[in-house]
């Protein structure tokens, strides 16, 4: 039965060619510190990227681009995609090689789940469709040979806005905020990024040596305006924590307390205030930071081994009261 689905959709994918919906350039509006694509949109799977690391090294990356060829955004993580609660969302994947988009946490139907074994791979183009039932923070990533493809960088964040499209409220009648940041956990094992191989025993053991937020490490994280938090005293800052690394991380905002208001695209029944929050692989946490009266703080992520005892590496950035 599943093979039947596969046949039908791959045929339609080929009919779709490589084009899809024209995608406007990403924009930054409202309190967002990041650029985004508004669904319906198209992303293109690419396997020719590179990431500049703080130590001067460069590693090859794969990613979803917001445009064809070399014209689009070639960074890891892949573009942020947004839609509103209640919408029928369409995201077109264009790809010359077999890839998929798994819509992580959006509870889509089987055909749109993006898993080769239960859905199908896409070569050409396919438009993933789902109804956005809950406002919140979600992920997307390639689910072909996932161990390799996701680690290479084929992941991004999907944000579902409230029904009215508000960019200052987390969900319908939910928490309000002034500014909004996205911290996507990112780690790379640089040995996994050499060559174009799909898998095998060289991927048997994951030993990350670069520890990042939003694809930037070291000094690059501290100066990255999409990551380093700047807001006025008393402003409420929403930080969406996205567990896109294979390793868990402990999130800290310096010593500043913050309120955890949602996880995995659902509001918490009992929000809580803490100074650190563990985010495991695949999880998301929405946290609300009320800026103190003054000062600059050093926040960041301490990555932990899945053995969960030792810190693997730490990445820091600044939290500044403007």
Partner 1 sequence: MRRRDFLKAGGAGLVGSTVFSISGLTMLSPGNANAATVSFNLTAEGTYKTLVDGVSVYVWQFIDTNSTGPGALTSGLVVKEGDAVSVTVNNNLDRNIRFSIPGVSMSSTRTISPGSSRTYSFTAPAAGSYLYTDNVNGELSRAMGLAGPMVVMTTNGSNNLYSGGPVFDRQYTLFMSELDDRLNAAVQAGGSYNMANYEPNYYFANGLSYPDTKSNSDTLIAMSVGEDVAIRFINGGAITYPMHFHGYHVNVASRNRIIEKNVIEKDTVQVERGECVDVILPVAQAGTYPLHTHYVPGVSANGVYAKGGLVLMSAA
Contact set with partner 1 (CB under 8 A): 2, 102, 104-105, 107-110, 113, 115, 117-118, 145-148, 150-151, 199-207, 243, 246-248, 263-266, 268-270, 272, 278, 280-283, 306-308
Residue 95's alpha-carbon distances to 195, 209, 289, in angstroms, are 20, 29, 39
Instruction: CB nearer to partner 1: give 16 or 174.
Output: 174
Instruction: CB nearer to partner 1: give 58 or 207.
Output: 207
Instruction: CB nearer to partner 1: give 29 or 270.
Output: 270
Strand partners, 136: 160
Instruction: CB nearer to partner 1: give 248 or 299.
Output: 248
Rounded CA separation 230/306 (Å): 32
- Burial (CB count <10 Å: 0-12, 13-18, 19+), residue 168: middle
Taking the complex as a whole, the smallest distance from the CB of residue 139 to partner 1 amounts, in Å, to 10
Taking the complex as a whole, the smallest distance from the CB of residue 214 to partner 1 amounts, in Å, to 19
Taking the complex as a whole, the smallest distance from the CB of residue 186 to partner 1 amounts, in Å, to 14
Instruction: CB nearer to partner 1: give 257 or 272.
Output: 272
Taking the complex as a whole, the smallest distance from the CB of residue 308 to partner 1 amounts, in Å, to 5
Instruction: CB nearer to partner 1: give 225 or 275.
Output: 275
Taking the complex as a whole, the smallest distance from the CB of residue 292 to partner 1 amounts, in Å, to 26
Taking the complex as a whole, the smallest distance from the CB of residue 85 to partner 1 amounts, in Å, to 15
Instruction: CB nearer to partner 1: give 22 or 117.
Output: 117
Taking the complex as a whole, the smallest distance from the CB of residue 118 to partner 1 amounts, in Å, to 5
Give the number of residues written for the chain.
322
Instruction: CB nearer to partner 1: give 9 or 206.
Output: 206
Taking the complex as a whole, the smallest distance from the CB of residue 281 to partner 1 amounts, in Å, to 4
């Amino acid at each position: 039965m599943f093979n039947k689905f596969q046949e039908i959709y791959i045929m339609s994918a080929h009919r779709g060619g490589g084009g899809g919906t024209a995608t406007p350039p990403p924009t930054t509006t409202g309190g967002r510190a990041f650029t985004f694509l508004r669904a319906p949109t198209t992303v293109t799977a690419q396997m020719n990227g590179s990431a500049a690391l703080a130590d001067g090294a460069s590693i090859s990356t794969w990613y979803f681009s917001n445009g064809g060829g070399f014209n689009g955004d070639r960074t890891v993580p892949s573009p942020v995609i947004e839609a509103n609660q209640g919408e029928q969302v369409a995201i077109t994947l264009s790809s010359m090689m077999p890839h998929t988009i798994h819509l992580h946490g959006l509870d889509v139907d089987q055909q749109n789940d993006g898993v080769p074994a239960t859905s199908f791979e896409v070569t050409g183009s396919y438009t993933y469709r789902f109804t956005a039932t809950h406002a919140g923070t979600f992920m997307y990533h390639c689910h072909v040979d996932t161990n390799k493809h996701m680690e290479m960088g084929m992941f991004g964040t999907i944000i579902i806005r409230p029904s009215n499209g508000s960019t200052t409220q987390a969900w319908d009648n939910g928490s309000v905020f002034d500014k909004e940041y996205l911290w996507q956990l990112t780690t790379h094992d640089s040995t996994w990024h050499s060559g174009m191989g799909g898998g095998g025993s060289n991927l048997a053991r994951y030993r990350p040596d670069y520890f990042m937020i939003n694809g930037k490490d070291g000094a690059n994280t501290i100066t990255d305006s999409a990551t380093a938090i700047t807001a006025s005293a008393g402003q409420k800052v929403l930080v969406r924590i996205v567990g896109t690394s294979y390793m868990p991380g402990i999130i800290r905002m310096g010593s500043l307390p913050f309120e955890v208001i949602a996880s995995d695209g659902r509001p918490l029944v009992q929000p809580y205030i803490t100074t650190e929050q563990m985010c495991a692989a695949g999880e998301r946490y929405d946290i609300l930071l009320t800026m103190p009266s003054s000062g600059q703080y050093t926040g960041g992520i301490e990555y932990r081994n899945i053995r969960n005892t030792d810190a693997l590496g730490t990445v820091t950035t600044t939290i500044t009261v403007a």
